[in-house]
C-alpha cells in the first residue's frame, strides 16, 4: 500500500524510490482502492457543484502519484460519467502524474486497452477522453496556470521530497528519536506547503482538490499501527535481525529509513487556519477534513478463512510493494543485484514466517486524512 512510493526527487542526492512495475502494485493494493472509492464520493460532489468550462477547453482532471492507474480507474470512470451527465459534449482530460521511474507503459496499456468480447475498452479510448502522463514530481507545478478543474491524490503525499536523514535503530519516523522526528516533521510541513502552492497555480478558480493522505489520527493511530502489532516496529526488528545474523552491515542497517512522514489532521489543516499563510493567500480554502480508518482487507479475509500461512502470503506482498525499494537501495551496490535481491527476499520471508507462525494482531489498516480543498 501507499499508492505511489514515488516521492519527488528534489535534491541531487535524493534517494531512489520506485514501485514494482507491471501491475504488481495495483493487484496487491486492494485496500488502497477502497480508500479511493470513498474519496470518489467527495470528488463526485465537487463536480456536481462546479462551473463547467464553456470556452471549449476540456474539463481537466489530474491524479497525483497515480502509479499504474489501476486503483483509481473505477473512480475515473465515475468522474468522467459525472461530467458527461452534465455536459455530454465536454472533452475531459485525465493527467496521471508520478515520478519518471513510474511504469507509464503499464498505465497507458491499462487506459488504452482495446475492448472486445466481454472486455471493456480502456477509459482513454472513450470519445472525447484524452489521457496524459506526466513524469513530474508533485512537488513542482505540473499543469499550466489555471487549467485544472479537479485534482485528486490518494496515499501518495506521505513521501517526502528528500530524506531528512537516517533514523537510529528504526526504519520509519514513527519510531524515531525526538530530534530525528522533528527533522522529518519539518520536511513534511515544508513539502505540504510546496505541494499546495503548486496546485494553487494549476487550479481554475472554483476548482477543487480531493485528497486522501496517510495521517496520524485522533487516537494516535497510523498506517501499520491501529492497536495491534506495530508494522513499522516489525520492519525495524527484522531489518535489525539481518544485521544481528551478519547478513547486512551496520552501514546498510543504518541506511534504511523510509522517506515518509504521517501528519496529523491538524498539521494538514494548519496552512488553511492561518489567513496570512502563503497557502491561504494563494486562494486555497479547506472545505472538509476528516480522518478514517480503512480495515486491512488481507486481515479481514483472514478473519473469514483462518489460514495463517495464506494470510501471510497475501499480506507481505502488499507491504513489500511500497517498502522494497527503500530496503534494496540501502544495500551496498557492490553486492550486485542478485545478492541484494536475495537479502531483501530473506527480509520479507522472515516477516512472512512471523505472521504465519503468529498471525494475531497483524494488520495494515489504512489511516487516512480526507480533505476537500477549493481554490477561490
Note the residues at the interface with a second copy (CB under 8 A). 9, 12, 55-58, 91, 93, 95, 100-105, 107-109, 111-112, 114, 116, 124-125, 128, 130-137, 140-147
At its nearest, how many Å lie between a second copy and the CB of residue 20? 14
Provide φ and ψ at 267, rounded to 5°. Answer: -65, -40
Closest CB to a second copy among residues 91, 206: 91
At its nearest, how many Å lie between a second copy and the CB of residue 115? 9
Closest CB to a second copy among residues 58, 228: 58
At its nearest, how many Å lie between a second copy and the CB of residue 350? 31
Closest CB to a second copy among residues 106, 373: 106
At its nearest, how many Å lie between a second copy and the CB of residue 35? 26
Helices (H) and strands (E) in the chain, counts: 12, 8
User: What is the rounded (10 degree) CA torsion for 258, 272, 62, 264?
Assistant: 30
Closest CB to a second copy among residues 40, 99: 99
Question: Where is 183: in which H helix or E strand?
Answer: helix 178-202
At its nearest, how many Å lie between a second copy and the CB of residue 58? 5
Query: CB of 252 within 8 A of CB of 332?
Result: yes
Closest CB to a second copy among residues 76, 142: 142
The distance from CA 44 to its chain's CA centroid, rounded to whole angstroms, is 20
Say how far apart CA 109 and CA 305 lie, in whole Å.
Answer: 34
Nearest to 318 by CA among 3, 63, 72: 3
At its nearest, how many Å lie between a second copy and the CB of residue 135? 3
At its nearest, how many Å lie between a second copy and the CB of residue 112? 5
What is the residue-wise DSSP string for 156-179? -TTB-SS-----TT-SSGGGS-HH
Query: CB of 77 within 8 A of CB of 40?
Result: no
Closest CB to a second copy among residues 93, 260: 93
Closest CB to a second copy among residues 109, 247: 109
Closest CB to a second copy among residues 116, 246: 116
At its nearest, how many Å lie between a second copy and the CB of residue 344? 21
What is the residue-wise DSSP string for 49-82? TSPPP-SSPPEEEEEET-TTS-TTHHHHHHHHHH
At its nearest, how many Å lie between a second copy and the CB of residue 108? 3
Say how far apart CA 232 and CA 250 lie, in whole Å.
Answer: 19
Say how far apart CA 212 and CA 223 lie, in whole Å.
Answer: 13
Nearest to 152 by CA among 216, 273, 67: 67
What is the residue-wise DSSP string for 211-257? EEEEEE-TTS-BTTBSSSS-HHHHHHHHHHHHHHTTSS-HHHHHH--
Closest CB to a second copy among residues 147, 188: 147
Amino acid at each position: 500500500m501507499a499508492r505511489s512510493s514515488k516521492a519527488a526527487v528534489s535534491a541531487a542526492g535524493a534517494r531512489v524510490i520506485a514501485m514494482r512495475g507491471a501491475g504488481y502494485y495495483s493487484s496487491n493494493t486492494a485496500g488502497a482502492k477502497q480508500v479511493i472509492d470513498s474519496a470518489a464520493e467527495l470528488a463526485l460532489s465537487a463536480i456536481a457543484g462546479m462551473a463547467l468550462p464553456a470556452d471549449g477547453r476540456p474539463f481537466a482532471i489530474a491524479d497525483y502519484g497515480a502509479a499504474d492507474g489501476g486503483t483509481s480507474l473505477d473512480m475515473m470512470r465515475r468522474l468522467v460519467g459525472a461530467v458527461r451527465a452534465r455536459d455530454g459534449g465536454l472533452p475531459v482530460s485525465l493527467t496521471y502524474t508520478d515520478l519518471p521511474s513510474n511504469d507509464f507503459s503499464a498505465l497507458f496499456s491499462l487506459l488504452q486497452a482495446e475492448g472486445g468480447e466481454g472486455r471493456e475498452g480502456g477509459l482513454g479510448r472513450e470519445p472525447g477522453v484524452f489521457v496524459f502522463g506526466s513524469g513530474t514530481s508533485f512537488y513542482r507545478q505540473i499543469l499550466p496556470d489555471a487549467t485544472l478543474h479537479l485534482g485528486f491524490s490518494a496515499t501518495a503525499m506521505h513521501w517526502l521530497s528528500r530524506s531528512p536523514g537516517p533514523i537510529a535503530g528504526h526504519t520509519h519516523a514513527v519510531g524515531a528519536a525526538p530530534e530525528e522526528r522533528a527533522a522529518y516533521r519539518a520536511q513534511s510541513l515544508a513539502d505540504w506547503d510546496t505541494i499546495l502552492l503548486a496546485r494553487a497555480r494549476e487550479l481554475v478558480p472554483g476548482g477543487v482538490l480531493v485528497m486522501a493522505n496517510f495521517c496520524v489520527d485522533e487516537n494516535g493511530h497510523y498506517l501499520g499501527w491501529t492497536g495491534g502489532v506495530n508494522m513499522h516496529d516489525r520492519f525495524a526488528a527484522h531489518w535489525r535481525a539481518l544485521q544481528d545474523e551478519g547478513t547486512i552491515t551496520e552501514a546498510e542497517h543504518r541506511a534504511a529509513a523510509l522517506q515518509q512522514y504521517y501528519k496529523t489532521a491538524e498539521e494538514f489543516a494548519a496552512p488553511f487556519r492561518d489567513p496570512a499563510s502563503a497557502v491561504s493567500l494563494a486562494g486555497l480554502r479547506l472545505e472538509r477534513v476528516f480522518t478514517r480508518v480503512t480495515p486491512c482487507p488481507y486481515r479481514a479475509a483472514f478473519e473469514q478463512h483462518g489460514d495463517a500461512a495464506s494470510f501471510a502470503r497475501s499480506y507481505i506482498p502488499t507491504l513489500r510493494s511500497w517498502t522494497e525499494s527503500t530496503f534494496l537501495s540501502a544495500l551496498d551496490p557492490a553486492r550486485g543485484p542478485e545478492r541484494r535481491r536475495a537479502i531483501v527476499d530473506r527480509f520479507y520471508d522472515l516477516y512472512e514466517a512471523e505472521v504465519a507462525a503468529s498471525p494475531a494482531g497483524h494488520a495494515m489498516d489504512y489511516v487516512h486524512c480526507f480533505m476537500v480543498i477549493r481554490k477561490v
